Amino acid sequence: MKKYIGKRLAYTLLVLFGVCTITFFVSRIIPGDPATMWVGPKHTQGQLDAARRELGLDRPLMIQYLSYMGNLLKGDLGVFIRTKQPVLEEVSRRYGATFELVSVSILIALILGIPLGVISAIRKDKPIDHGSRAFSISGVAMPVFWLGMILQITLHGNLGWFPLQGRIGSMILIDHPLTNITGFYIIDALLTGNWPAFVSSIKYMALPALTMSFASLAIVTRITRSSMLEVMREDYVQTATAYGVTRRTILYKYALKNALIPTITIIGLAYGLMLGGSVMVESIFDWPGLGSYIVLSITRNDFPGIVGSTLVFAATYLTINLIVDLIYFFVDPRIKHPGRRG
């Protein structure tokens, strides 16, 4: 086990190093001069030169890279050029919003996708199965921005069920201030018994979470269905049936347990899909998270913000995948014993 964990940690650190390197150099080739943004539109050449020295842009590119990597090891992500605030401070402030949105979205995908996949497998080639398979295909193919706009028009514009943009009602924060404990508004409201803030957070979360979870919900449904069908053809299932074990026991006690192993792997992939999708979703719903922060950094050519946000995204994704790999190690004996089948 220690050897397995060591390999996974080494792989995670190597990928993180690669992400830092690639993002750094890509951010440097984006058109525009960060020093101009630092000093503002009205500046002298002397002010511009001073800004370039302060930002380290007057040094050779490799020296800038080595300096940046050294600062990273000390926990320094640089300074956000637009506000002149530390990137780490801005990222920390926005991180909870994105991670809460992604976590709720993955829960929606799992809570709805697993039962739908099981039912689809049990009723193979029946109308509900055909509907499930059509949903799985369309869910992956549907553009996120289009789905987001449709939900805004129908659930907000036509029905008025959910608010359009933001993370929580502004009047709620005035009348019922929310104590920041975890950075997750829903959990913080529960921990402090702030029910108006809890209800408001749920309402504001609904549209972006539904938009973000849609593609992953389709994937989880399809994978669960395929896994259930494969497991139900295994010899031990046929043997249990021959011995008179009830179909319900076979399905939910034996088959589902083994069918969920591939679904566990999907969790890590879904997190990556949703983290990438958060850039679009947060922009659509004006969600104050890291995704919208990256968009703002790119449009303003703010390379410390770009690199810092991307690094946090990558670290989160790699950490989630490491946790999923460890869970997979414990639930699948084939990982512990590579020579063993089944």
Last residue of a domain, one of 270, 285, 300: 285
Cα-based angle 259, 99, 112 (whole degrees, multiple of 5): 35
pLDDT, residue 331, reads 66
Q: In 3D, which of 298, 281, 296, 313 has the Cα closest to residue 167?
A: 281
One domain for residues 163 and 211? yes
Confidence of residue 54 (pLDDT cuts 50, 70, 90): confident
Residue matched to tokens 């129908």? 154
* Same domain assignment for residues 72 and 204: no
Instruction: Report the domain count for the chain.
Output: 2
Helix or strand (DSSP H, E) at 86: strand 85-86
Amino acid identity, residue 269? L
Across-strand partners of 85? 80
Do 329 and 335 form a contact (C-beta atoms < 8 A)? yes
Tens of pLDDT, residues 70-106: 888 887 877 777 777 788 888 888 888 999 999 999 9
Within a domain: 142: yes
DSSP-derived letter for residue 57 is T
Looking at the fold, whether 71 and 188 belong to one and the same domain comes out as: no
DSSP 3-state of 231:
helix
Residue 79 backbone dihedrals phi, psi, to 5 degrees: -120, 130
* 98 within some domain: yes
Residue 314 belongs to a domain: no
| Dihedral over alpha carbons 208, 212, 214, 218 (to 10 degrees) | -160
91 DSSP assignment: H
The answer to whether residues 225 and 191 touch, using CB atoms and an 8 Å cutoff, is no
**Does residue 97 share a domain with residue 68?**
no
CATH number at residue 200: 1.10.3720.10
Residue 59 sits in which domain range? 34-76
- Is the domain of 48 the same as that of 140? no
Whether 122 and 60 share a structural domain = no
Would you say 138 and 130 are in contact if contact means Cβ atoms under 8 Å apart?
Answer: no
Q: How confident is the model at residue 211 (pLDDT cuts 50, 70, 90)?
A: very high
The residue assigned the tokens 């969790």 is 267
Query: What value does the mean pLDDT take over residues 27-37?
Result: 70
Write the burial class of residue 141 (CB in 10 Å: 0-12 exposed, 13-18 middle, 19+ buried).
Answer: exposed
Least-confidence region, from 69-78, 177-186, 298-307: 298-307
The overall average pLDDT reported for the chain is: 83
Rg, Å, the chain Cα set: 24
Residue 95: its pLDDT value, please?
87
Mean pLDDT, rounded, for 36-55: 72
15 within a domain of the structure (yes/no): no
Residues 254 and 224 in one domain: yes
Domain end call among 49, 76, 103 = 76
Closest to 303 measured CA to CA, from 83, 123, 141, 80: 80
Q: Is position 329 within any domain?
A: no
pLDDT for position 333: 57
CB burial class (10 A; 0-12, 13-18, 19+) of residue 6? Answer: exposed
Buried b (16+ CB within 10 A) or exposed e, 319-335: ebbbebbeebeeeeeeb
pLDDT at 342: 45
301: in domain? no
Residues 130 and 60 placed together within one structural domain of the fold: no
Residue 335 is predicted with a pLDDT of 54
Query: Looking at the domain assignment, is residue 162 inside a domain?
Result: yes
In a domain, 125, yes or no: yes
Q: Are 72 and 111 part of one and the same domain?
A: no
Residue 194 phi/psi, 5° resolution? -90, 85
Whether 58 and 109 share a structural domain: no
Predicted confidence band at 228 (pLDDT cuts at 50, 70, 90)? Answer: confident
Let me know whether 63 and 109 are in one domain.
no
Amino acid at 140: V
- Each residue of 119-155: pLDDT tens digit? 998 888 888 888 888 888 888 888 888 898 999 999 9
Tens digit of pLDDT for each residue in 154-172?
999 889 899 988 888 888 8
Contacts of 54 (CB under 8 A, 6+ apart): 38
Regarding whether 157 and 53 lie in a shared domain, the answer is no
Phi, psi (rounded to 5 degrees) for 86:
-60, 135
pLDDT for the residue numbered 341: 46
